[in-house]
Amino acid sequence: MPFTVHDIPDQTGKLAVITGATGGLGYETALALAGARATVVLTGRNPQKGADALARIRTIHPHADISYETLDLTRLASVEDFARRFSAAHDHLDLLVNNAGVMMPPTRQTTADGFELQFETNYLSHFALTARLVPLLSAARGRVVTLSSIMARRGKIHFDDLQLASGYTPQAAYGQSKLACLMFARELQARSDAAGLGISSFGAHPGISSTNLIENGMGQGSIAARMKPLTGMFFQSPAAGALPTLYAATSPDAVPGGYYGPDGFMEMRGAPT
């Protein structure tokens, strides 16, 4: 039978952190984990959106153990600040979901740290966050789920120009960042095994989901306009898109080092596999 939220094992006593959890896939992941009785820390850049997300989850799960923390993945200083605060408040972490992302802004943008926007937001800051939280993850023998994309297949690591300072295209930058995320997920498992850290690392992707990621990333440009009519035909809901992440995060059958996504045509939609 296909995996659904009803198959999530009881998460009582489990502590989870989800990046980009105020909307889309991250919100659906937080909602499902809260419903399974995990203690969930939602993170994002906008405190008002964080408050709104908490209120929506509590409407569905009144007794949910949830909170919000500000974490801006476009600034490594914010990553450091969050990790320091979280580590001071907790002695373990059962689950880290590296979910937040930026998708294909039409023009090249750089962060306050000077990195290409997608490379830092999608990959570098999640690398830094995970590294800072390794002691807590190891203490719990926890799981890390890092979101990749079907576009990782077309991705290439531009070692001679990681920031794509020359020849930037939205697709090249996004594909590179998501391939880097998948490589990181696999390498983290290898490093955990070699060092005996006890951390289980997974990659996951949502297929193509009708979240606001496309619109927010591409703006109202021609690519976004062309894709919008296709949402009902090919795209799946954010709740369905979150299922591969939830499978990797909770299923006893998920294999460390594995990569999970939809089982349908071209992995665009379907049940986790």
CA separation, residue 273 to residues 58, 67, 251 (Å):
30, 31, 12
Active-site hit among 68, 174, 259, 260: 174
For residues 64 and 57, the answer to whether their CB atoms sit within 8 Å is yes
CA separation, residue 162 to residues 87, 100, 167, 170, 181 (Å):
31, 20, 11, 14, 14
For residues 5 and 35, the answer to whether their CB atoms sit within 8 Å is yes
Contacts of 255 (CB under 8 A, 6+ apart): none
Q: What are 167's strand-pairing partners?
A: none
The β-bridge relationship of strands 65-70 and 95-98 is unpaired
Is 259 a known active-site residue?
Answer: no
- The residues annotated as belonging to the active site are 174
